[in-house]
């Protein structure tokens, strides 16, 4: 019975993948770009805390996009805001992220 259910789900998922083929392709390509962008931001921040314009200039990304990613990474606890420099705040990798990076290495 359990095997039958598993088989039915497998078939239904295969059908679903077929139906959503173009959506899956588009989401995958978005995810790949985002993964690269986020990796670039994190790599840049390994060099020390930086402001949004510094990060954007350092990795050749528009400032609004860099801020969009930074706001998101901050929400998910991967970066933290540190001190202010002029009219801009500086951001750095969170302790949790640093530990994760260490473990990965």
Partner 1 sequence: MIPTDIFNFDTLVVGGGIAGLQTALDLGDQGYKVAVVEKDASIGGKMIRLSKVFPTLDCASCITTPKMSAVAHHENITLFTYCELNSLDYDGSGEFQGMKALITQKPRYVDPVKCIGCRQCEYVCPVHIPDMEQGGLSATKAISIPFSNAIPQLPIMDIENCMLCGQCEKACPTNAIDYLQKPEEFLIASKTAVVTTGFDLLPVKDNTQYGNGKIPNVIDSLQMERLLAPHGPYNRVLRPSDGMEPDSIAYVQCAGSRDKSMGVSYCSRVCCMYAIKQAMLLSGSLPLADITIYYMDIRAFGKGYEQFYQNAKAMGIEFIKAKVARIDRGENGSAQVRYELQDGSGTATANHDLVVLSMGMVPGWNPEQPVCPVSKDTDQFITSIKPKISPVLTDMDGLFVAGAAAGPKDIVDTITESGSAAMEAAKFMSKSLMEN
Which helix (H) or strand (E) segment is 90 a member of? strand 88-93
Burial degree of 70 (CB within 10 A; 0-12, 13-18, 19+): buried
Which member of 7, 81, 95, 101 binds partner 1 (CB under 8 A)? Answer: 81
Residue window 8-47: x/- pattern of binding to partner 1, with contact defined by CB under 8 A: -x--xx--xx--x--xx--xx-xx--xx------------
Q: Which residues contact 41 (CB under 8 A, 6 or more apart)?
A: 55, 59, 61, 66, 69, 70, 73
Q: How far is the CB of 38 from partner 1 (least distance, A)?
A: 8
DSSP 66: H
Q: How far is the CB of 5 from partner 1 (least distance, A)?
A: 12
Binding residues (CB under 8 A) for partner 1: these are 9, 12-13, 16-17, 20, 23-24, 27-28, 30-31, 34-35, 51-53, 56, 63-64, 66-72, 74-76, 81, 84, 87-89
């Amino acid at each position: 019975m359990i095997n039958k259910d598993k088989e039915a789900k497998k078939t239904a998922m295969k059908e679903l993948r077929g139906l959503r083929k173009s959506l899956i392709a588009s989401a995958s390509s978005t995810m790949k770009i985002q993964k690269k962008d986020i990796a670039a931001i994190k790599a840049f921040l390994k060099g020390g805390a930086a402001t949004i314009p510094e990060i954007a200039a350092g990795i050749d990304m528009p400032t609004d996009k860099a801020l969009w990613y930074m706001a998101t990474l901050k929400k998910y606890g991967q970066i933290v805001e540190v001190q202010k420099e002029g009219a801009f705040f500086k951001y750095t990798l969170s302790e949790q992220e640093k530990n994760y990076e260490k473990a990965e290495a």
